[in-house]
A and B are shown apart, each in its own frame.
Chain A
Amino acid sequence: MPTYREQTAATEPPPAPSIPADPSGATVGPDTLSRQRVIPLRHPGRWIAALVVTVFVAQVIESVATNRFFQWDRFGYWFLRPVVVDGLLVTLEVTAWTAVLGLLGGIVLALGRLSRNPILSTLSWAYVWLFRSIPLIVVLLFLYNFSAIYPQISIGVPFGPVLFSVEEARLAPAFVLAVIGLTLNESAYAAEVVRGGILSVDRGQHEAAASLGMPKLYQFRRIVLPQALRSIIPNYVNQLIGLIKGTSLVFYVSLLDLFGTVQSMGATYSGDIVPLLMVATVWYVILTSIVSVVQFYVERYYARGAVAVMPPTPLQRVVGQVREGWSLLTARGRT
Chain B
Amino acid sequence: MTAVAVEIHNAHKWYGTRHVLAGVDLTIAAGTVATILGPSGAGKSTLLRAVNHLEKLDVGYVSLNGEPIGVRRRSDRLKELSERAILAQRRRIGFVFQSFNLFPHLTALENVAAAPIATRSASREQARAAARELLDRVGLADRADSYPRQLSGGQQQRVAIARALALSPGVILFDEPTSALDPELVGEVLRVMRDLASTGTTLIVVTHELGFAREAADLVVLLDQGRIVEQGTPADVLDHPRHPRTREFLSHMR
Chain A interface residues (CB < 8 Å from chain B): 202, 204-205, 207-216, 218-219, 222-223, 226-227, 302, 304-308
Contact = CB atoms under 8 A, between A and B. Distances in A.
B105 A204 contact: no
Given A226-B105, A304-B105, A306-B105, A211 B167 contact: no
Given A204-B97, A304-B147, A214 B83 contact: no
A212 B91 contact: yes
Given A210-B54, A213-B90, A306 B104 contact: yes
Contacts of A215: 84, 87, 118-119
Contacts of B88: 213
8 contacts: A210-B87, A212-B90, A212-B119, A213-B89, A213-B167, A214-B119, A216-B83, A218-B118
B54 A305 contact: no
A116 to B, nearest CB: 10
A208 B106 contact: no
B20 interface: no
Nearest to A216: B83
A305 B101 contact: no
Contacts of A226: 105
Nearest 7 A/B pairs, CB to CB: A213-B91, A305-B147, A208-B101, A204-B101, A211-B95, A212-B115, A213-B90
B114 A211 contact: no
Given A205-B101, A214-B115, A305 B106 contact: yes
B52 interface: yes
A35 B163 CA distance: 51
> Max chain A CB contacts within 10 Å: which of B88, B101, B149, B150?
B101
Contacts of B84: 215-216
Given A212-B91, A212-B115, A222-B118, A207 B101 contact: yes
B150 A308 contact: yes
B111 to A, nearest CB: 9
A51 B88 CA distance: 67
B103 interface: yes
A305 B88 CA distance: 29
Given A204-B97, A207-B97, A213 B150 contact: no
A305 B87 contact: no
A279 to B, nearest CB: 42
Interface in B49-96: 52, 54, 83-84, 87-91, 93-95
B148 interface: yes
B114 A212 contact: yes
A268 to B, nearest CB: 54
A222 to B, nearest CB: 7
Given A211-B97, A212-B115, 20 more contacts: A205-B101, A207-B101, A208-B101, A211-B54, A211-B93, A211-B95, A212-B90, A212-B91, A212-B166, A212-B167, A214-B87, A219-B118, A222-B114, A222-B118, A223-B103, A227-B104, A304-B147, A306-B104, A307-B149, A308-B150
Nearest to A218: B118
Contacts of B167: 212-213
A302 B106 CA distance: 11
B140 to A, nearest CB: 16
Contacts of A214: 87, 114-115, 118-119
Contacts of A209: 103
A205 B52 CA distance: 16
A214 B91 CA distance: 8
A298 to B, nearest CB: 14
B114 A213 contact: no
Nearest to A307: B149
A218 B121 CA distance: 14
B152 to A, nearest CB: 12
A11 B112 CA distance: 47
A117 to B, nearest CB: 13
Contacts of A222: 114, 118
Nearest to B99: A204
Contacts of A202: 101
Nearest to B166: A212
A306 B148 CA distance: 9
A216 B119 CA distance: 11
Nearest to A227: B105
A306 B91 contact: no
Interface string B129-151: 00000000000000000011110
B67 to A, nearest CB: 15
A207 B98 CA distance: 12
A210 B55 CA distance: 12
A307 B90 CA distance: 31
Contacts of B150: 308
